[in-house]
Amino acid sequence: MHAVVRRKPAPALSGARRRFAWWLMAPTLAMFAANAVFPLLYALDVSVRNYQLLIPIPAQFVGLANYARVLSDPLFWSSVEVTLWFIAAVVFLQLPAALGLALLFNGLPRWAGIAVTVLLVPTIIAPSVVGFQWAQIYNYQFGPLNYLLGLAGLGHPVWTASPSLALPSLLAIDFWEWTPFLVLLLFAGLSALPPDVLEAARVDGSNWSQVFWRIMLPLLRPVIGIALLLRVLMSFKTFDIIYILTAGGPGAATENLAYYTYIQGFRYFNLGYASALAIIQLVVVAVLAKALIGLTRRPGLASVS
């Protein structure tokens, strides 16, 4: 069965109507230029200068020197590694867990609304509050987690100050905080699946596994793509919990790209270097976003045969 929905192209606008449309869009375009295009061009300009706010020497054009320095900076590469861990956790832990929970709730229509609402609480708490809350939970001496582990005879790990545990501890918070958001998106996607297609598959004798892998998952692909796109972009920007719980430490063990850029820009005020870091991130994020948007555009029903 192939079911490709073709949209009828919109009729072309006449010259006067086209001009009117541009006038209508002008305020939005002006705002976009002021808020997005100008800062981007300014950041590009600063990224090719040795602009340091705290040094009373005029900034000079240095070409791609800041970019070259980024590539040979070990702290940049370690921050890339930390960032990749956050993204990997989204793809390999949060998404499968969220899909599982969404399927579970989809099978319990009576309780699904309440369950999803309760589950969303971590996502709607202010991130700084999440940070402080987990700082208490992870507290070596007074934290409830270590208290319970102590009762069970499992010792008292030093969660956020241990080089081996600090990053997993942050990933666990990220999981707790943002998996419900994915559950919400995927649950909405599952609820919107056409029931006749699922019903037809069951009538044709498909088992649950076949329905899931060959019908539900392909149909959910656009939603999964959107969910991944949003979460991957958010992962790139993870900052609050790092700032509050570890300040990037111990050493630079939990310093991701966003935090490293903040340190260069707002602690050392190396604006040229921080801008180069930001531009590199922008390019990487844009490439990733393009790939994930491609995933969302894949035809849904068309691939179901």
Partner 1 sequence: MNRTILTGPAISRRGVLGAGLSMLALGADPRGAAAATTVHIECDAGQNELPFRWQASALEATYGIAPDLVSLPFVGQYEKLVTDLTSRSDAYDVLVFPPYFLGDFQALGFLRELDPYFSIIDPQLADYLPVYRDPVIKRDGKTYALMYDGDLLQVCYRTDLFEDPKEKVAFRQKYGQDLAVPTTWVDFMKVAEFFNRPPNLYGTAFYAQRGFCYAWFVNIFAGLGGHWFDAKMNPGIKSDAGYKALSLLVEMKKYAPPNILQIDYPTLNQVFLDGSTAIVVQWDDLPLKCENPAMSKVVGKSGFAPCPQRSYMPYSRVMAVSAFSKNPEEAYKVAVHMQLPDVGITYVYDPECGEDPYRESYLKASAVKNHLGQPTMSAAAAANYVDAIRNGLKAGYPELSIPGAPRYIDILDLYVNQALAGSLSPKAALDACAGEWASITAAEGQDRITKAYADWVDSFHKVGLTY
CB 33, min distance to partner 1, A: 23
Closer residue to partner 1, CB minimum distance, 18 or 156: 156
Give the Cα separation of 64 and 42 in Å (integer): 15
Give the Cα separation of 179 and 135 in Å (integer): 20
Give the Cα separation of 136 and 293 in Å (integer): 39
CB 140, min distance to partner 1, A: 4
Instruction: Work out whether 52 is an interface residue with partner 1 (CB under 8 A).
Output: yes
CB 131, min distance to partner 1, A: 13
Closer residue to partner 1, CB minimum distance, 109 or 155: 155
Stretch that binds partner 1, among 50-58, 87-95, 111-119, 280-288 (CB under 8 A): 50-58
Instruction: Work out whether 163 is an interface residue with partner 1 (CB under 8 A).
Output: yes
Closer residue to partner 1, CB minimum distance, 63 or 109: 63
DSSP-derived letter for residue 298 is: S
Query: In DSSP terms, which residues pair with 49 in a beta bridge?
Result: 61
Residue with tokens 């054009």: 61
Give the Cα separation of 33 and 25 in Å (integer): 12
Interface of this chain with partner 1, residues 70 to 99, rule: CB under 8 A: 74
- 22's tokens: 């541009």
With a CB cutoff of 8 Å and minimum separation 6, the contacts of 180 are: 98, 116, 119, 120, 121, 122, 123
Closer residue to partner 1, CB minimum distance, 161 or 289: 161
CB 266, min distance to partner 1, A: 5
Stretch that binds partner 1, among 31-39, 170-178, 217-225, 262-270 (CB under 8 A): 262-270
Contact 238, 68 (CB under 8 A): no
Binding partner 1 (rule: CB under 8 A), the pick from 250, 284, 289, 304 is 250
Phi-psi region of 153 (alpha: psi -120 to 50; beta: other; left: phi over 0): left
Give the Cα separation of 280 and 263 in Å (integer): 16
Closer residue to partner 1, CB minimum distance, 130 or 253: 253
Instruction: Work out whether 248 is an interface residue with partner 1 (CB under 8 A).
Output: yes
Binding partner 1 (rule: CB under 8 A), the pick from 57, 151, 152, 203 is 57
Closer residue to partner 1, CB minimum distance, 141 or 207: 141
Residue 121's CB: how many other CB atoms inside 10 A?
Answer: 10
DSSP-derived letter for residue 163 is: T
CB 88, min distance to partner 1, A: 20
Instruction: Print the binding letters for residues 118-157 with partner 1: x by CB under 8 A, - otherwise.
Output: ----------------------xx--------------x-
Give the Cα separation of 99 and 217 in Å (integer): 10
SS3 211: helix
- 35's tokens: 């808020």
Please give the residue ranges that form the binding site for partner 1 (CB under 8 A).
50, 52-57, 74, 140-141, 156, 158, 160-163, 246-253, 266-270
